Amino acid sequence: GENVEQHPSTLSVQEGDSAVIKCTYSDSASNYFPWYKQELGKGPQLIIDIRSNVGEKKDQRIAVTLNKTAKHFSLHITETQPEDSAVYFCAASRGDTGKLIFGQGTTLQVKP
């Protein structure tokens, strides 16, 4: 069945450094790849997404890259700040069902 693998499970960086989280998906029909940030006790918040017709997308300090051939996509956060500390989830979706398949999550800790 569809599967999304996410790595690493935990990531600790110093404030100002970059953080990279990687995901691999199994369903070649997937065409929508969102990233969510979840703070403790809250629902996930969409931070950036990319569609299969684009290789890279950037929004201020956040960027996402997609390699369709290898079926993997990555989240890049530059100039990290303590408020970036949270759990980040990647997901993949096919256009027909709209169902999101989530990765296992990455706990990011940004040390001041």
Partner 1 sequence: GAVVSQHPSWVICKSGTSVKIECRSLDFQATTMFWYRQFPKQSLMLMATSNEGSKATYEQGVEKDKFLINHASLTLSTLTVTSAHPEDSSFYICSAELAGNNEQFFGPGTRLTVL
The secondary element (H helix, E strand) that includes residue 89 is strand 86-94
User: Hey, what are 2's tokens?
Assistant: 């569809």
CB of 8 to partner 1, least distance (A): 14
Of residues 44, 47, 66, 85, which one binds partner 1 by CB under 8 A? 44
Decide whether 27 or 78 has the Cβ nearer to partner 1: 27
Of residues 12, 28, 67, 104, which one binds partner 1 by CB under 8 A? 104
Decide whether 38 or 78 has the Cβ nearer to partner 1: 38
- What gap in Å lies between CA 76 and CA 24, rounded to an integer? 15
- What gap in Å lies between CA 73 and CA 112, rounded to an integer? 28
Q: Does 63 bind partner 1 (CB under 8 A)?
A: no
Q: Does 26 bind partner 1 (CB under 8 A)?
A: no
Decide whether 34 or 77 has the Cβ nearer to partner 1: 34
Q: Does 75 bind partner 1 (CB under 8 A)?
A: no
- What gap in Å lies between CA 99 and CA 110, rounded to an integer? 31
- What gap in Å lies between CA 78 and CA 13, rounded to an integer? 11
- What gap in Å lies between CA 65 and CA 76, rounded to an integer? 8
In the complex, which residues of this chain contact partner 1 (CB under 8 A)?
32, 34, 36, 41-46, 49, 89, 93, 95, 97-105
